Chain A
Amino acid sequence: MDLSFSEDQELIKSSVEKFITDNYHSQKRRKIIAEAKGFNESIWKSFSELGWLGLPFPEELGGHGGGLVDLMILMKAFGRGLVIEPYVSTIVMSGKLLTLCPQGNLRDNILSDIIKGEKKASFGYAEPGSRFNSHDVETIAKKTSNGWEINGHKTVVFGGGQSDYILISARTSGDRFDKNGISIFCLNANSPNLNIQDYPTIDGFRAAEIRMKNLKIDDEYLLSEKDNGYEIIEETFLNTIVASAAEASGIMEKMYEMTLEYISTRKQFGVAIGKFQAIQHRAVEMLILSEEMSSLSAMSALTNNKSLTNKKTIYSSKIHIGIGGKKLGQEAIQLHGGMGVTEEMEIGQYFKRLTLLDTFLGNSDFYLKQYAKIDF
């Protein structure tokens, strides 16, 4: 057992922290958000040069063979810097999904394009009626003579309007809720009969409604084995939660620090408000919540097989984003008083992202239920 970072990991940590300090200050982020695409080409290029786009992929696929701990280090720094580039949608989520799909020309090309930073991808799993149940799939793919015809609606697809490839889950057999019969397809963003409604999200990212109407694709665009996509989705979710927990941990740590700074300098009744014990105890509670997030994030990054114990660890980190993150976020705003509810203050920007991270991939209630299913 050794809980310290390796030399390589220290290197990732210092390089990403330096990058954020030098290149990703809040004014810049706000400018990127205001731009039409919602991400910055030159920053994406830097990500590629720094090796982050290939970080989580195995070397045989052109990646750098990084593990979950490496991803955690990167994502935690992204959280602290409130990075809104489509890294999770393209690299973490779509990347993992593609890696888990069987090898094939199309898959290999997309992966290589993604790693080189030339193309982006997104994954549409949610549907208007599905809520957080990713096996609730009503998008239908029907076999045609030389391919598939797809009809359906994928909703709130993160990075959907920013990507060249849209990966989707669609039903190739079975009924609405069956886990069997779900397959994964790839769509070119410019396909006819594919409607993409791109919009900003409240936390500064972008998402899209993806509507498919009699959309025809060739056989090779079925990426998973027919009917066997669900397990891949599940594993992709688990992997993405690890990244998301690290991001949340970075955000919570930063919010705690900003709040500590604020209560140490804001004076009322002739003293810094941090002198009041009622405030001190709450700031300490914030510290503990942040430390818990950090621990759970590290624990989940150290999971290395698909055992149920590991699943529970990953669920725990997700549950804490919802429960601990919500508490910490609300406290941070409250302790900032009126300043906390202004758009101008950075604390609010972090609060918005943290709030919505609970919802991402299913909220804490949803994972409490999954957790209970494992043990009881």
Chain B
Amino acid sequence: MNLDFSNKDQIFREEVKSFIEDNLNKETARRIGEGLPVSKEDTQEWQIKLSNKGWMAPNWPKEYGGTGWSLTQRYIFDEECGAASTPRTIPFGVTMVGPVIIKYGTEEQKKKYLPKILSSDQWWCQGYSEPGSGSDLASLSTKAIKDGNCYIINGTKTWTSLAHHADMMFVLVRTRSDCKPQEGISFILIDMKSEGISVNPIVTLDGSSEINMVYLENVKVPLENLIHEENKGWTVAKYLLGHERVSIAEVARSKKALSRVKEIARLNLDGGRSLTKNDRFMDKLIKCEVKLQALEYAELKVISDAVKGNPPGAEASILKIRGSEIQQQITELTLEASGYYAYPYQMKSMEKGSNEPIVGPSWGVSSAPKYFNTRKTTIYGGSNEIQKNILAKMVLGL
């Protein structure tokens, strides 16, 4: 057991650093650092750079185009990306459906989808939740009925992140009803250009629109788009959720975000003094960092086990709970640091290339929107209450 970096690791870190230095768009990095929104193009630009380098999928086995990195290398890579404020790779392809196809997909499916995830030619979205089925996902009612060589799909998916940018969507649909709800669900891939799909944006509290309602009306999907077996979708979904929950912990990003809060705290914001002189503020900041350190170790442990072939189980829920809370606390600290500059509504000046004059310091512009937006982290990916139910049952045995 040790946390040391070998010489080889140090060399790897330098390689990552210089790759980022050479390839990351500085303006995009600045915007991410300040908590401003990034466009699909900004993200795509970065993903293509990663893809060309062969670094798109650190979590995939090497034979499928993964990087074959050690745990330490993955950790270093995430840390450097976080520190440099690179765009996040969109998780729906690489982190979610990719591992699913690798585990459950046919050769055909692997050939068809994996390369396009690696090259970032296809963007994915996740069609799980429905208006009537959130926490109780298994109650979902979007129906797929077999018709010749197709499924005909009808229903409504909601909260679908980035559906408006996606080329493909993986969905859970009901293929049987005369059984336990979990036993009648299938995992299917849908081309977003199919006839009968419409995507309506949902505006969130902070004024942005990253989530959508997706209506499916008699959408025809070829039978070969089924993953694993019919009515075995729940098994697939659970496998995927484990991956999702780990990725939601976002330790490297939170480290960067917290170091930014520290920089802000060092500015002379408080009547000529810096917030570092304000014990109440500093206590909150440090308590948050204490949690983050614990989370960092816990995340390493889960990845380390995964590398040894033990996929994340219920403990992943711990990462999700704390990781999401920490993300929220960090936005809360920035909001507090902003003082009165949390007030101005500056959506326009947050847009890329905007010339709107800003009110207050540039880092304050996004502070309240971020705080509002980040309420989502304890809700999505299985709400924190549901994670606690899982832990109570699976780990505590209650």
Question: B129 near A341 (CB under 8 angstroms)?
Answer: no
A201–B205 Cα distance when bound, in Å, is: 13
CB distance from A133 to the nearest CB of B (A): 4
Known: A202-B344, A363-B336. A343 touches B205 (CB 8 A): yes
Interface string of A264-297 (1 = CB under 8 A from B): 0001111001001011000000000000000000
Chain B residue at smallest Cβ distance from A155: B340
The main secondary structure of chain B at its interface with chain A is mixed
Question: A197 near B272 (CB under 8 angstroms)?
Answer: no
Question: A338 near B343 (CB under 8 angstroms)?
Answer: no
A177–B272 Cα distance when bound, in Å, is: 9
Question: A359 near B385 (CB under 8 angstroms)?
Answer: no
A14–B385 Cα distance when bound, in Å, is: 40
CB distance from B205 to the nearest CB of A (A): 4
User: Which residues of chain A come closer than 8 Å to B344, judged between CB atoms?
Assistant: 156, 199-202, 207
Measured as residues with beta carbon below 8 angstroms from the partner, the interface class of chain B is: 35 or more
Question: B371 near A156 (CB under 8 angstroms)?
Answer: no
Question: B379 near A338 (CB under 8 angstroms)?
Answer: yes
A356 interface hit (Cβ, 8 Å): yes
Question: A268 near B280 (CB under 8 angstroms)?
Answer: no
B372 interface hit (Cβ, 8 Å): yes
A343–B132 Cα distance when bound, in Å, is: 19
A373 interface hit (Cβ, 8 Å): no
A136–B123 Cα distance when bound, in Å, is: 52
CB distance from A305 to the nearest CB of B (A): 29
User: Which residues of chain B come closer than 8 Å to A276, judged between CB atoms?
Assistant: 385
A369 interface hit (Cβ, 8 Å): yes
Question: B272 near A176 (CB under 8 angstroms)?
Answer: yes
User: Which residues of chain A come closer than 8 Å to B134, judged between CB atoms?
Assistant: 268, 337-338
Chain A residue at smallest Cβ distance from B203: A343
Query: Within residues 320 to 347 of chain B, which ones have a CB less than 8 A from any CB in chain A?
Result: 328, 332, 335-336, 339-346
Question: A341 near B360 (CB under 8 angstroms)?
Answer: no
Question: B379 near A340 (CB under 8 angstroms)?
Answer: yes
Selected from B135, B158, B343, B380, the residue in CB contact (under 8 A) with A156 is: B343
Known: A201-B345, A352-B372. A342 touches B204 (CB 8 A): yes
User: Which residues of chain B come closer than 8 Å to A278, judged between CB atoms?
Assistant: 385, 388-389
Question: A156 near B379 (CB under 8 angstroms)?
Answer: no
B31 interface hit (Cβ, 8 Å): no
CB distance from B164 to the nearest CB of A (A): 16
B376 interface hit (Cβ, 8 Å): yes
B13 interface hit (Cβ, 8 Å): no
Interface string of B224-255 (1 = CB under 8 A from A): 00000000000000000000000000000000
Chain B residue at smallest Cβ distance from A135: B271
A132–B337 Cα distance when bound, in Å, is: 11
A209–B135 Cα distance when bound, in Å, is: 45
A65 interface hit (Cβ, 8 Å): no
CB distance from A263 to the nearest CB of B (A): 12
Chain A residue at smallest Cβ distance from B374: A341
Question: B136 near A268 (CB under 8 angstroms)?
Answer: yes
CB distance from A156 to the nearest CB of B (A): 4
B23 interface hit (Cβ, 8 Å): no
Question: B268 near A356 (CB under 8 angstroms)?
Answer: no
Known: A334-B378, A338-B380, A351-B372. A155 touches B360 (CB 8 A): yes
CB distance from A344 to the nearest CB of B (A): 7
User: Which residues of chain A come closer than 8 Å to B385, judged between CB atoms?
Assistant: 276, 278-279, 334
A355–B368 Cα distance when bound, in Å, is: 9
Which are the 7 A-B pairs with shortest beta-carbon distances?
Answer: A133-B271, A156-B340, A268-B136, A365-B280, A343-B203, A136-B271, A201-B343
What are 14 A-B pairs with beta-carbon distances under 8 A?
A129-B271, A131-B340, A155-B360, A156-B343, A197-B359, A202-B344, A268-B133, A278-B389, A337-B135, A338-B380, A340-B379, A341-B375, A355-B368, A356-B368
